[in-house]
Structures are given as C-alpha cells and as structure tokens.
Structure 1
Amino acid sequence: MSKNRKTKIGLVSISDRASEGTYRDKGIPALEDWLKQALLSDYETVSALIPDEQPLIEATLKRLCDEDGCDLILTTGGTGPSRRDVTPEATLAVATRVMPGFGEQMRAVSLAFVPTAILSRQVGVLREIEDHAALILNLPGQPKAIAETLQGLPSKGIHGIFAAIPYCIELIGGPSIETRPEIVKVFRPKSAELPEIIEKQVIEPAEGKADSAFIMLHGLGADSSDFTHFREELIACGAPMEQTRFILPSAPVRPISMNNGYPMKGWFDLFSLDNIDKEDEAGLLETWKIIERLIAQEETKGIDRSRIFLGGFS
C-alpha cells in the first residue's frame, strides 16, 4: 500500500441527545477543525453521528475500517462510567490488539486539569483485517479537551497523542501523515523513513550537524542540479553556511501554456510573459503546499523555523 496516498480518517460522535437532534453535535466539528489546522498532508474524512448503542457503535467502527478503508478512526463521547457509556466496550469488541499507551496518555493530559479524568475509560486499539488495518482511538467529548488530548500541553511538558499517531499508522501499513510542527510535532525514530514530498537533492554539511536549512527553487525548465554548487559559491562569497543543509527540490513536469503546452518542469503554469492578469492559482497553491511541507520536515529534524531560508531563481 502506498505511503504517499491520501489518508482516510473516520470521525464518530457518540451521543444519544445529539443523534436525536436535542442539541448540536460539537464533537465532529471540533475534530474537523483540529485536523484542518494540524495536518499538512492530504486526507479525507468519513463522519458518523450515532447514539450510545453498543451494537451500532461496533457496526460503525467495522464499516469505517473494513468497507470505507479508514486508516485512523477517532471517536468522541461515551467513555465515562455511566451505564449508557459503552464506547470502550464497543471499541474493544472490534479490536484485534489493544494499544494501552494511548489511553494512559489521554488520561495523563486530562489529569493536568481535572482529577475526574481518572473516571475516563478511553482506549486505543488496532483493528486488522486481511489487507488493511486501522488505529481506533476514543477521545474526550468536549472540543477543548479534544484539542488538548491530540496536541498535548507543551508548557507543562505533556505530549499529546497525535505525536505518535503517524508513525503508528505507518507501522501498520498506512500512509504517511505530516503535521504543522507548531501545532503538533510528530516523532519518528531516526531509522524511520520520512515521507516522500517531491523529487529533491539534499546536501548535508561536510562535517558536523546542520544548524540551518536553505530550500532553493529552480527556474522553469531547469531542475535541482542547477544549484548543487550553490553552497560552495555562497561560502566563497563569505556567507557562514558551512553548517547549512541545502534542500534542492525539482518541480513536477507539467504542460506550460506559454510554450504551446509542451511539458516541462515548472512550479506552476505560465500563460504569457505579457499578460499578468491570468495566473495558475491551482499550481501556485500546490507549490505553496510543497514548500510548507519541506519547511515542516526541516523543523521535525530539529531546525528552528527562524533558521530555515527559502530562495528561488529564474
């Protein structure tokens, strides 16, 4: 299964009153808002709002994994000690393996705020079928608690659970998930393969560890090889870049309208050198997202955002 395919995420809000329309569900919107802020890589969601009925919860989790092919399933609601709170029982019933660390960490986050967090029975499990697997996690019901559980409390030195989710998804055969480090910084062991963003050359310092990074974009029809000697040229001019990592991406091949549709490496389509009123908005946004992902990957490697530089030449 491709590591670079779009991630599919199931969102399940479990509430008798919200499913009946007595009040507006806040769980799914809170999850959608957080994912939109945190994720850089492409993903799609499948949502379900259902009552606290164990057979229905089980059937929904099975469908999201087995039929819809979700890689990650996040539930909200139904994890307390009342008799109608049966989300953990339903989750365990469809599980093939339990991941106890997720439940432990969710309670650790909540305990930083309220002592009643020990009443939460949230669990994390894997559901594995012949050719697919999903990670299923029970989250709190309140929007604020959902965000805190996922991204943690950096000021208190408490990690959120999402820091470990992408690597877990990769280990069970799912796609790579990238995040904005300022929201949640994903942890992967040094031996883990990083997500493939785009064809690129990476030039490390000759000696020692990189303390900064320079991302350089080439011009239309060129490629990354144009800048393989760029660091040496800058150093020769007196720039203190001996410990700078250079990332030299090559643009995707696309038809260039100005050149009668001839396919070339380009960061966006160019319609004319004279008419500046028309621009390739979709291509520009695609390139912006590539750059944002490259920057985030450098942050994940330990380079501070203030030490990451972006350049381009045409």
Structure 2
Amino acid sequence: MRWKTAILTASDRGARGEREDTSAQVIRELVEEEINGEIIEYRIVPDEMDEIMASLIEMADYFHADLIITTGGTGLGPRDVTPEATLKIIEREVPGLAEAMRAASLQKTPFAMISRGVAGIRGKTLIINLPGSPKGVHENLQAVIGVLPHALAILTGREEGHPQ
C-alpha cells in the first residue's frame, strides 16, 4: 500500500529561507523507503500557532493525508508551539508513539526528556511531531516506523483487528 504523507516543518529561519530543511529530507527518505510513503504535500511555516494549525487542518482535511509528520517546534523555547497546535486540532491522542520515540531517543541522549512532541488522530489522519534536528528526526522516526503501516491500515479502514 502507498501511504499519502505530508511533511510540515515549523521553523522561523526555515520559513525565511535562512536555513536548509535537512530534517524534512530525512523524513522523506525514511517514509519513501521504509513504509512506501508518497509525499503529497510539503511546506515550511514559521513557529506560529495559527499557521501550524491551519497547515495541519489543510493537510488532513483537504489533501486527505494518511500521515502528517511535523519537524521542529517541540522544544522548550518560547516559540516552540508545534505540540500545542497539534493538540488543538486532533480528536484523539496516540501517546504510545510519543512515549516510544522519547524512550528510544533517551537511550542516545538525555536531552530527549525535554522533547515535547505529541501524536494524534484527526479524522483518518495520523499526525506525529518530531524534533527539529536531522539526528532527532532519524532516531525518533526509526523508533516507530515499524508500526506505522499497521496503524495507518487500521486508521484508514484498510485493515481490521490486530496482527496475529
């Protein structure tokens, strides 16, 4: 199965064109190679609650993405608002994904415990927040990528029940 995937980068510097978005490139490569994902939308927005929320809603409701992966805005800085924006637009949380990502990342760095990323569902779209660094993106996404096809199949109605 092909999974329609959207990537949203929250970065003031990226939105101004002052920084190359290497984190999104890591997401693209992992999604295409590991879960047969097709990138249907990609954008960079500043760390602004309204812009992040509007992009997530558009990607889920109008582009009908099966999966939206965000990068950036999950730290402790005053403009790091991606988790709050995500929580405002999702219908249900999927805390196990965020917990698994933090636990896996914690094996590599103690700074993982200050990452505030969340995961949740809007309609038939799974949304996952990743850190902003390419290394953090790779470590966190690797921790959960193996369960994503099953999770997406259940969420989108292409599969029922639990694997045997």
Shift of 1:144: 2.2
Matched AA of 1:189: P
Which TM-score applies when normalising by structure 2? 0.91
Q: Within the alignment, does 1:33 sit opposite 2:32 as a pair?
A: no
Moved over 3 A (4+): none
Provide the residue aligned with 1:82 in structure 2: 77
Q: Please state which structure has a larger fraction of its residues in helix.
A: 2
Match 2:15 to one of 15, 19, 32: 19
Provide the residue aligned with 2:92 in structure 1: 97
Task: Supply the distance in 2 between the matched residues of 1:42 and 1:142 (Cα, whole angstroms).
Answer: 21
- Give deviations 1:16-50, integer Å, cap 9, x for gaps: 001101121112111112223323x4634310111
Quickly say closer, same or farther: Cα 1:171–1:37, change in 2 above 3 A: closer
Measured on the aligned residues, the alpha-carbon RMSD in Å equals 1.6
Indicate the structure whose relative CO is greater, using CA pairs within 8 Å and at least 6 residues apart.
2
- Give deviations 1:72-110, integer Å, cap 9, x for gaps: 000000001111000000000001001111111111111
Q: Within the alignment, does 1:136 sit opposite 2:136 as a pair?
A: no
CA contact (8 A) 1:75 1:137 kept: yes
Match 1:126 to one of 98, 121, 129: 121
SS at match of 1:34: helix
Provide the residue aligned with 1:260 in structure 2: none
Matched AA of 1:163: G
CA contact (8 A) 2:47 2:80 kept: yes
Paired residues for 1:253-292 under 5 Å: none
Q: Within the alignment, does 1:161 sit opposite 2:156 as a pair?
A: no
Matched AA of 2:150: Y
CA contact (8 A) 2:69 2:129 kept: yes
Q: Within the alignment, does 1:149 sit opposite 2:137 as a pair?
A: no
- Give deviations 1:202-255, integer Å, cap 9, x for gaps: xxxxxxxxxxxxxxxxxxxxxxxxxxxxxxxxxxxxxxxxxxxxxxxxxxxxxx
Shift of 1:142: 1.7
Q: Which has the larger radius of gyration?
A: 1
Task: Supply the distance in 2 between the matched residues of 1:164 and 1:27 (Cα, whole angstroms).
Answer: 21
Which TM-score applies when normalising by structure 1? 0.49
SS at match of 1:164: helix
